[in-house]
Structure 1
Amino acid sequence: MHDHYESVVQFRSRKGTLSANFPKDVSGIDPEKLRLRYKATVEDDSYMQELDAITAFALPRFGQARDEGRRMAAEIEADIRLEPVGVLPLRKSEGYLFLHWSSHPETHIFYFTATLFTGAYTGHRQIRTSYLESARKSLGTTFESLKRDLIRRQPHLPNPATFLVEAKRAVPLEETFLPMARQLVARVAGDSGEGA
C-alpha cells in the first residue's frame, strides 16, 4: 500500500512540475499583489483530467489504508520479540530464523540472507528467506539444540546468525509473521556495519 501511495504522490508532483514548465500567456494583472496573471496555453485532455480525478479520489484512501496498516503493524510488532539464539557472530547477514508462537509448540525454521537494496531504498537491507523445516519445541528440544542440529547438518554455515522471533498471539505465518520477522532481522543485520 505504501508503494501505491508514494507512486500516486510522485505522479501528481511530476505532473504539476511538467504543467508548470509549459509556456503560458499573460492574461492580466493582479493589482493587489502587483503580479502578472498567466493562463496555460496547453490544457489537459480528457484522459489527463480523468487521471486527475482518479488520483484525487484515490490518494486520501491510500493514505488512510496505509496509516491503518501502520497502526495494525505497530500493534502486532509490540507482541513480537526478537532475540539471538546462542552467541551472534560478527557477520549477521546469513543464518537461520526460528518463528515461534508462544502458545504453540511448533517452530518454523527458515534460512535467511541479508542483501543491500539498490534503487529507491539504497542502504537498506532486504532479508530473503527460504523455508527449511518445522520442529516441535519441548523440554529436550530447545532453540539452542535446534541451532546445533542445523550447524551439524549444514556444514557450509558453521557459525550462523540465528534469531528467535516469537509472537505472543497467533498471526498468519506467510502474510504477517514472516514479513514482520524479516523487518526485525533487517534492522539487526543493518547494525552490523558489513557490506552485502
Structure 2
Amino acid sequence: MDSLKHDWLTEGLIDYEYKKYVLLAYLKDIGKKFNQSELYPFMTDLIFHYRNLIKVRESKKLMYDSFPETLTKADFNKLRLTYDKIINDDEVMEQIERIISFAIPKMKGMLEEGKELYEFVEEQINLEPVGVSPIYSDEGYLFINQDASSDVSIYRYQMTFFEHAEEKYRSMSTEFLMNEIRNISKSYENIKVSLTKKYTELPNPATYLAVSKLKFPLNETVLPVAKRMLVRRISTTD
C-alpha cells in the first residue's frame, strides 16, 4: 500500500481508528521504500497528501489545484460535494479533525526521512557537462553512471515550462535511449559524438553526466534526483 486514494480522508468509513490504521499502513510501506533507497514516486505522493491535509486544516476546503492531473474536475466536484456535506455534520467533522491532527505530524515525520534520503543521494551525485556546452541547453542528453561501473544509461531530456498562479515553473521530461559500456576506446565524449551522428536533429547537443559514487535504484532514485539537479543547473545558466 505505497499510495493513498486521493479521497482517503472522506472515502468509506469515516472513523478515527480506521483511518489511523489506513494511514499507518501507508506510512509503513513508504518507510520500507525509503529503507530500500527508493524515493519516487513515493515522495511525490506523500508530499501531495501532506499539503492537501494542511490546506484542509487551514481552510476547511479541498483545493482542486492541489490534486494530481489524473483527477478530473468532475471527480473533484463529487469529492467536494461529499466534503461539503461532511462539514455540516458536527459529529463526522470531529472525526475528520481528529484524523487530520493525527495524520499531519506522522506525514511530516516521514517527509523528513525522505528529505534526508534525498539530500544523501544528492551528495553522492556529481553533475558535469560532457564536452563544450552550447548556449541552447533546454534539450540534450543525460548520461548516468553509478559506483564506478562501466555501464552508462543514456537519456534524452527536454525542458518544459508552465505557468501557475502567476509563477513560471520548469520541469524536465526524459526518454531512455540505450545503455552503453564505457571503456578505453569509448569515452563519454565518444558516446556524445555517436549520438550526434545518430540523432542528427541535435547537431550540437547539450550533454551532461551524472556520476553517483554509490549505487541506488536507477528509476526510483538516481534518475529523478539527477533530473532535479540538471533543471537547477540549466535554470541558473539561462
Shorter-chain TM range is 0.7 to 0.9
Residue in structure 1 matching 2:211, options 160, 166, 189: 166
Distance 1:178 1:120, change over 3 A: farther
Instruction: Check if 1:76 corresponds to 2:135.
Output: no
Task: Return the offset for 1:120.
Answer: 6.2
Total equivalences in the alignment: 168
Task: Return the offset for 1:66.
Answer: 0.8
Task: Return the offset for 1:122.
Answer: 3.5
Q: Give the structure 2 partner of residue 188 of structure 1.
A: 233
Segment drifting more, 63-72 vs 114-123: 114-123
Q: Bigger radius of gyration, 1 or 2?
A: 1
Taking structure 2 as the reference length, what is the TM-score of the superposition? Answer: 0.67
Q: Give the structure 2 partner of residue 52 of structure 1.
A: 97
Residue in structure 2 matching 1:152, options 197, 208, 216: 197
Paired residues for 1:103-114 under 5 Å: 103-114=148-159
Residue in structure 1 matching 2:138, options 66, 85, 93: 93
Paired residues for 1:35-46 under 5 Å: 44-46=89-91
The structure with the greater share of residues assigned to helix is 2
C-alpha distance in 2, partners of 1:138/1:112? Answer: 24
C-alpha distance in 2, partners of 1:104/1:165? Answer: 13
Q: Give the structure 2 partner of residue 30 of structure 1.
A: none
Task: Return the offset for 1:103.
Answer: 2.6
Task: Return the offset for 1:118.
Answer: 3.1
Segment drifting more, 136-145 vs 7-16: 7-16
C-alpha distance in 1, partners of 2:97/2:110? Answer: 20
- Per-residue displacement from partner, 1:99-135 (whole Å, max 9, x unpaired)? 1013311000000001123336942310100100000
1:163 counterpart SS class: strand
Gaps of 5+ in 2: 1-45, 62-86
> What amino acid sits opposite 1:11 in the alignment?
V
- Per-residue displacement from partner, 1:20-75 (whole Å, max 9, x unpaired)? xxxxxxxxxxxxxxxxxxxxxx9752232221111111100110011111111111
The structure with the greater share of residues assigned to strand is 1
C-alpha distance in 1, partners of 2:209/2:165? Answer: 30
1:157 counterpart SS class: coil
Taking structure 1 as the reference length, what is the TM-score of the superposition? Answer: 0.80
> What amino acid sits opposite 2:144 in the alignment?
L
Residue in structure 2 matching 1:15, options 55, 60, 63: 60
Task: Return the offset for 1:189.
Answer: 1.9
Distance 1:43 1:152, change over 3 A: closer
2:60 counterpart SS class: helix
1:190 counterpart SS class: helix
C-alpha distance in 1, partners of 2:193/2:53? Answer: 49
> What amino acid sits opposite 1:61 in the alignment?
K
> What amino acid sits opposite 1:2 in the alignment?
I
Aligned-pair identity in percent equals 32
RMSD: 1.8
